[in-house]
Structure 1
């Protein structure tokens, strides 16, 4: 039995249905990310799990307990917000202790738990400081410790990293994941940043207009999107119009070149396929059955990766290739051969 079960969850604000027939089963200790654009309903789902919003319909069960009708303070859930939400008049230690004090935990036990939490986040020496004396990253660490201090059954994270600069955001997300794994706490993380979701999640729920479009591991979401929305929202795509020439072999025509897709597609069918930037290879590559001609338009050096834009069959495509110190990238205007394979293709409308 799943540790957290959400069934047929819906939420309407007036006539606006913002979450529609949402289902999700989360195993104990799993890290789930709700990923999607602004307004897709991901934060509303999180707030219903937390008890801050009451569902219009549906149910939420945690560890076998139906909690849909319970108030937020009766659910034993820890929450970390986008805004740090620390009490400015309390020290770091007192902020971490706040939830424990509300629960009536004795002073000695409270102090021991605060000490443990501050050690966990690496801020033991800052127990006596106030929030204004901390950096943004340190304040979020304190917010995490405060959420974890009462030993919640579930940890909810509502875009907690979006206010931080890029370097701190990457460091802190890795710390959050490490702490989550160490404690084995069931976690739901809301983000609009696909890199964040892909890097730290066990599974991702991609949301679109209040619906869970696809649920899967980062590998599945990226490599095997099941809807056009997911395919376009996660990562970069090169899209090609193709025509099926042979149903038995799956052969299609791509701008005069032949590509082989899985058999069974109707002959004569016009459709669109997509290839990720890393699926295109510069030059003739062994094992890639199709070679097309292109012309380099742009070269973007990104350190370990070089991103190329090229014109192929009248379309601009994006390619990612590894940087090699002994092999400078082609310059704009260069005509090149580009290898690709049907095994890497994503069928977008079929």
Structure 2
């Protein structure tokens, strides 16, 4: 049996259902991200696992035991909040050792464990400081150490990086993942940032309107989205309408040219999804070539994002910023190469 089993979980606030038939099994040591826009129900799921919200219905089993009726302090779960929630009147060391003190640990045990945690988060010499004397990234490290100090069975993180600037956020997410792997602790991470979820997770749960739309590895979620919402929410996606010429083999007319998907598609007209990085400037051996006119050029540093009009439909694609090679200019006619295998049929 999986370490954490969530089955048919529902939560309503009055007449509003915010979580709908949510199911998830998590193996011991896995890093799972709940990814979705604001209001999709991801934090509510986390709070139900932590014990801060009681489900309207459904079961939450940890190591085979249903914990729905247990209080948060009876579940042996560590939680890190978006707002740090450090005690301003306690030193860093006192904050980290707070959970151990509540559990009745002796002063020597607390001192040893606090030292271990401060070493783990890379702040061994800051135990005597107060939270206001730390940067935002340091405060979040202390919050993480406090959650881990009592040796919980599971770690829950509720958008812990959203209040930090971009460079600190990237650094800290790498540290969190490294610490999680080192400790082997089962972790559920809530975020609305797709890059965080894709870079940190073993598996991702993409949520929308209270529903788990897709559960899969980062590669599955990005490369093989199961629904239109997942395809549009995770990463940048071109959507192109194509006329179906033979539904049995997926022969289509796309931007005036024919291509074959070699898989069945619905009759009529289909919506295709295509990632910008799957489009090349020039055919370059790709099985399908379309002609377009450049309508936009965005300089993004090492990459240049271009958009081209394909006779009424727009497609975005990327090219490297190569010194000495000028990118296409506005109004220039270009040939773009596509692979039929990269075209996703997007269904509702």
Q: TM-score, normalised by structure 1?
A: 0.97
Gaps of 5+ in 1: none
1:95 maps to: 95
Find the aligned partners of 2:108 and 2:49 in 1 and give their Cα distance. 32
Find the aligned partners of 2:230 and 2:280 in 1 and give their Cα distance. 24
Match of 1:293 among 278, 291, 294: 291
Cα offset for 1:65?
A: 1.9
* Conservation of the 8 A alpha-carbon contact between 2:154 and 2:186: yes
Cα offset for 1:326?
A: 4.1
Which stretch of the first structure deviates more once superposed, 182-191 or 242-251? 242-251
2:312 maps to: 314
1:263 maps to: 263
Alignment of 1:2-81 (within 5 A): 2-81=2-81
Cα offset for 1:261?
A: 1.5
Cα offset for 1:301?
A: 2.1
* Conservation of the 8 A alpha-carbon contact between 2:8 and 2:21: yes
Which stretch of the first structure deviates more once superposed, 207-216 or 256-265? 256-265
Alignment of 1:1-350 (within 5 A): 1-266=1-266, 268-286=267-285, 288-349=286-347
SS in 2 for 1:214: strand
Find the aligned partners of 2:250 and 2:65 in 1 and give their Cα distance. 50
* Conservation of the 8 A alpha-carbon contact between 1:46 and 1:156: yes
When the two chains are superposed, the root-mean-square deviation of aligned CA atoms in Å is 1.1
Which stretch of the first structure deviates more once superposed, 248-257 or 216-225? 248-257
* Conservation of the 8 A alpha-carbon contact between 1:260 and 1:341: no
Cα offset for 1:149?
A: 0.3
Find the aligned partners of 2:147 and 2:263 in 1 and give their Cα distance. 52
Distance 1:248 1:53, change over 3 A: closer
Find the aligned partners of 2:320 and 2:70 in 1 and give their Cα distance. 53
Cα offset for 1:154?
A: 0.5
Which stretch of the first structure deviates more once superposed, 14-23 or 240-249? 240-249
Cα offset for 1:248?
A: 4.1
Find the aligned partners of 1:125 and 1:86 in 2 and give their Cα distance. 18
SS in 1 for 2:55: coil
Find the aligned partners of 1:340 and 1:83 in 2 and give their Cα distance. 45
Cα offset for 1:105?
A: 0.8
SS in 2 for 1:249: coil
* Conservation of the 8 A alpha-carbon contact between 2:206 and 2:230: yes
Gaps of 5+ in 2: none
* Conservation of the 8 A alpha-carbon contact between 1:306 and 1:320: yes
Which stretch of the first structure deviates more once superposed, 329-338 or 103-112? 329-338
Find the aligned partners of 1:227 and 1:129 in 2 and give their Cα distance. 49
Cα offset for 1:265?
A: 2.8
Find the aligned partners of 1:177 and 1:342 in 2 and give their Cα distance. 36
* Conservation of the 8 A alpha-carbon contact between 1:289 and 1:341: yes
Deviation string for 1:112-155 (max 9, x for gaps)?
00000000000011100000000000000000000000000000
SS in 2 for 1:126: coil
Deviation string for 1:264-303 (max 9, x for gaps)?
335x5211111010111111211x1111111112222222
Find the aligned partners of 1:230 and 1:220 in 2 and give their Cα distance. 11
Cα offset for 1:305?
A: 1.9
In the alignment of these two chains, the number of paired residues is 348
Deviation string for 1:243-277 (max 9, x for gaps)?
111234321011211121133335x5211111010
